[in-house]
Structure 1
Amino acid sequence: MNTTEVFLIAMLIILTVPYAVWRLGRTEHFAPLVVVQILTGIALGPGVLGAVFPEYYQFVFAPPVIQSLNGIAWWAVSLFVFIAGIELDLRAAWKDRRESGITAGLALGVPVLLGSAAATLMLGQSVWMGPKATDWQFVAGVGMSCAVTALPILILFMEKLAILRQPLGQRILRYASLDDIAIWGVLAVILMDWHRVGKQALFLALFAAAAWGLRRAMLKLPAKDRWYVALIWLVVCAFGADWCGLHYMVGAFLAGVVMDAEWFDQDQMDLLRHHVLLVMMPVFFLSTGLRTSWGVGGSAVFLMAGVLLLASVAGKLAGVHLAGRILGWKPGEASLIGWLLQTKALIMIIFANVLLDKQIITADTFTALLLMAVGSTMLTIPVVTPKLARWRA
């Protein structure tokens, strides 16, 4: 078979297997299709399929095929992060800045502390720390991974629970939006390359000037032209960030965050996010699975994933409950909000991919973080559904 035919076989597997598991297994209550796609990517990776059927794995996922899939994955995740940046509503957070600041700060800060404490157990071990990581970069990266909330998946979950447009849903979006800003800001600091700091400073200065000009120009453009200009802006920012040593995903997020959602039709925005998730993100999940590793043994990776999951869940719940006490929330609200903010899949995986690309973490740490993200996301709907029913009652 030629490369095109093998590529199409790989695409057939990517699209068919997770959908069949999700639909036939009726996993929606505890594992939405997004989670099943991530798990399928792990199963199709070298640690599972590659170990059981090495010849089949090498045939389907040959280097030319992986290279083609990676190109789709890069563009898919750039679009996804870009949309997430556009959807951040910082004005709403500023309007209720005291409540939003206290809640977002504690919801982020406590799991970061617990995750960082877990990361110190892994310090100095080459199986966990990447070859280019300093101690503080590794601890900060793993700690922040335990605090991530995946805003796009949170939106999907709250739509499913019918609370997205309600006051509670809008409050949760404010908290998650502020945490997203902090997460990408910390990532940018972690990725600062002091050998290329001049390039990075130049990029940030040019970005600030160009963003000012873009915001003025977009208001004068007709609506039908704004998406074309936005995509050009996305590519330019992603290239600039990667060129200066940050990462193309950081550039994609910055490209979106300086744009206002009001410039675009909300239905079109929702449809674009849906289509990116449907058409292209499954390829990103597979490429993520291909990067997993069990080099230190499955038991060690699962054990570390469990430690990180405990730090993540306990830290998020403790932080939100503390915020509830300070702000005088009604009974049940803190628990409900804390569990919804557990949603980590996608954004945490994107965050961990960047750390792996920059060799701050190893493939084994990446696998543990990936399992932690999947576990916390799978817990969300089963735990929140009965809590939400009681809260409504």
Structure 2
Amino acid sequence: MTIPTTELFLIAMVIIFTIPYLFWRVLKTDYYAPLAVVQIIGGIVLGPGILGAVFPAYYDFIFTPAVIQSLNGIAWWAVMIFVWIAGIELDLKSAWTNRLETGVTAGLAMIMPLVFGCGAGIVLLNFSGGWIGPKGHDWQFIVGIGMACAVTALPILVLFLEKLEILRQPLGQRILRFASLDDIAIWGVLAIILLDWGRVGRQAMFLLAFFISAVAILKLMRAVKESDRWYLGLIWLAVVGFAADWSGLHYMVGAFLAGVVLDADLFDRTKLDRFRDHVLLAIMPVFFLSTGLRTNWDVGGLVVFGAAAILLVAAVSGKLVGVHLAGRILNWPKGEAHVIGWLLQTKALIMIIFVNVLLDKGIISNQTFTAALLMAVASTMLSIPMVTPQLAKLRNVVDKPSAEG
């Protein structure tokens, strides 16, 4: 008997939501891995490399091409909304007010892991074949890997700061400023990596039209009531995402740009937080599963784990070195750089989105994507256990204003 695609799709949805939730709740992983991280791990486990290898018949039965295509459609829209919200939430005014500390810290926290990550990319290129994608140039691969090691995932960072009860404290707000500035740099570097000289005319047209349209949409948004701003914002998101993809910059770059030009004060902060939480709850798990479906272990499990270990060392050491250098320059209290450096290690979500784009564009291979995914999960899970003991010694720092007041 042939089972309709709709029923297979719903079976897949049951699996997507049930298995990660049970692991998260039963194993009580929230200390080191919030539900979103467990869902990312669940996507890897449910992908072809693990579930597909152990139970190929069941995997092929449920995850048919039609089901995968349906899941991908939801995943595309989910992650566009998520990145759009992340762009809206960037507090550029606060970053500018505290520009010395923010610039020094965010700069070193990005540049050092970028350099270390580029070194890791060179190692992978010279170690063996199969890491670079079919359309990637060496420089794109190296810079892409470097940036993947430098990423900090702002949404997961917010969850961790809430868990540690420092989100609304001066220390937490400083960390958010550092991560916010790096977020902008990440998308800027991605745009450079994706720059297509064959489409440079389209990309120039897109950027010109975008900046003109951004002025118009801001005026329109301020002229209407808030309930209408949500609808207009989502229309704006779809239009900019399409235009960016048409130009060759990828719809994810468009989603970020669509959000970053909108001021957060256009929306009620509580509603924006709830909307982000609802997206994480209702549709982002589909993105995590679709991400897991793209993992590949063809070069061998040990080799992929070895590559992930190289990337992890580069990412962690680079970020810690950069933040400790910033701490010395800015005369932070002893131990503060340790806390900030480890909290900026949270890479899940944004880094996964970043490497998804690199994979879409053929710059990295599925094997590299898998290694980067493992690195993102590991670095994120290390953050809370490494920070908690030191933070207990620095409770007086939590109430200390930033270096610039």
TM-score, normalised with respect to structure 2: 0.96
The C-alpha deviation readout for 1:292-345, integer Å capped at 9, x for no partner, is: 000100000000100100010001000000000000111111000000000000
The one-letter code sitting in structure 2 at the alignment partner of 1:261 is: A
Residue equivalent to 2:124: 122
The C-alpha deviation readout for 1:85-134, integer Å capped at 9, x for no partner, is: 00001111111111110000000000000000010012265410011111
Residue 140 of structure 1 pairs with residue 130 of structure 2? no
Residue equivalent to 1:82: 84
Q: For 1:338 and 1:215, how far apart are their aligned partners in 2?
A: 36
Classify the secondary structure of the residue corresponding to 2:81: helix
The one-letter code sitting in structure 1 at the alignment partner of 2:377 is: V
The one-letter code sitting in structure 2 at the alignment partner of 1:58 is: D
Residue equivalent to 1:154: 157
Q: For 2:205 and 2:268, how far apart are their aligned partners in 1?
A: 33
1:237 to 228, 237, 240: 240
2:206 to 200, 203, 206: 203
Residue 218 of structure 1 pairs with residue 227 of structure 2? no
The C-alpha deviation readout for 1:240-264, integer Å capped at 9, x for no partner, is: 0001111000000000000010110
Classify the secondary structure of the residue corresponding to 2:223: coil
Residue equivalent to 1:254: 257
Residue equivalent to 2:18: 16
Q: How many residues align?
A: 393
The one-letter code sitting in structure 1 at the alignment partner of 2:259 is: G
Residue equivalent to 1:298: 301
Residue equivalent to 1:332: 335
The one-letter code sitting in structure 2 at the alignment partner of 1:301 is: V
Correspondence 1:64-103 to 2 at 5 A: 64-103=66-105
Residue equivalent to 2:400: none
* Aligned 8 A contact 2:124 2:307 in 1: no
Q: For 1:267 and 1:343, how far apart are their aligned partners in 2?
A: 24
* Aligned 8 A contact 2:343 2:387 in 1: yes
Q: For 1:348 and 1:223, how far apart are their aligned partners in 2?
A: 31
Q: For 2:344 and 2:282, how far apart are their aligned partners in 1?
A: 26
The C-alpha deviation readout for 1:270-305, integer Å capped at 9, x for no partner, is: 000000000000000000000000010000000010
TM-score, normalised with respect to structure 1: 0.99
Q: For 1:189 and 1:314, how far apart are their aligned partners in 2?
A: 25
Runs of 4+ in 1 over 4 A off after TM superposition: none
The C-alpha deviation readout for 1:332-387, integer Å capped at 9, x for no partner, is: 11000000000000000000000000000000000000000000000011111111
The one-letter code sitting in structure 1 at the alignment partner of 2:116 is: L
Residue 43 of structure 1 pairs with residue 45 of structure 2? yes
Classify the secondary structure of the residue corresponding to 1:123: helix
The one-letter code sitting in structure 2 at the alignment partner of 1:213 is: A
The C-alpha deviation readout for 1:40-81, integer Å capped at 9, x for no partner, is: 100110000111111100000000000100000000000000
Classify the secondary structure of the residue corresponding to 2:200: helix
The C-alpha deviation readout for 1:212-247, integer Å capped at 9, x for no partner, is: 111122111111111111000000000000011110
Q: For 2:12 and 2:222, how far apart are their aligned partners in 1?
A: 43
Q: For 1:360 and 1:375, how far apart are their aligned partners in 2?
A: 23
The one-letter code sitting in structure 2 at the alignment partner of 1:4 is: T
Residue 184 of structure 1 pairs with residue 193 of structure 2? no
* Aligned 8 A contact 2:153 2:348 in 1: yes
Residue 392 of structure 1 pairs with residue 399 of structure 2? no
The one-letter code sitting in structure 1 at the alignment partner of 2:245 is: D
Residue 172 of structure 1 pairs with residue 182 of structure 2? no
The one-letter code sitting in structure 1 at the alignment partner of 2:174 is: R
Q: For 2:274 and 2:159, how far apart are their aligned partners in 1?
A: 12
Q: For 1:292 and 1:266, how far apart are their aligned partners in 2?
A: 36
Q: For 2:383 and 2:78, how far apart are their aligned partners in 1?
A: 25
Classify the secondary structure of the residue corresponding to 2:337: helix
The one-letter code sitting in structure 2 at the alignment partner of 1:346 is: L
Residue equivalent to 2:401: none
Question: What is the CA RMSD across the aligned residues, in angstroms?
Answer: 0.8
Structure 2 unaligned residues grouped into runs of 5+? 397-405
Residue equivalent to 1:277: 280
Q: For 1:14 and 1:150, how far apart are their aligned partners in 2?
A: 22
Q: For 1:307 and 1:204, how far apart are their aligned partners in 2?
A: 37
1:61 to 47, 60, 63: 63
Residue equivalent to 2:318: 315
Classify the secondary structure of the residue corresponding to 2:321: helix
The C-alpha deviation readout for 1:170-226, integer Å capped at 9, x for no partner, is: 100110010000000000000011001000000000000000111122111111111
Q: For 1:202 and 1:157, how far apart are their aligned partners in 2?
A: 40
Classify the secondary structure of the residue corresponding to 2:37: helix
Structure 1 unaligned residues grouped into runs of 5+? none
Classify the secondary structure of the residue corresponding to 1:219: helix
Q: For 2:38 and 2:177, how far apart are their aligned partners in 1?
A: 28
Aligned residues: percent identity?
66
Classify the secondary structure of the residue corresponding to 2:322: helix
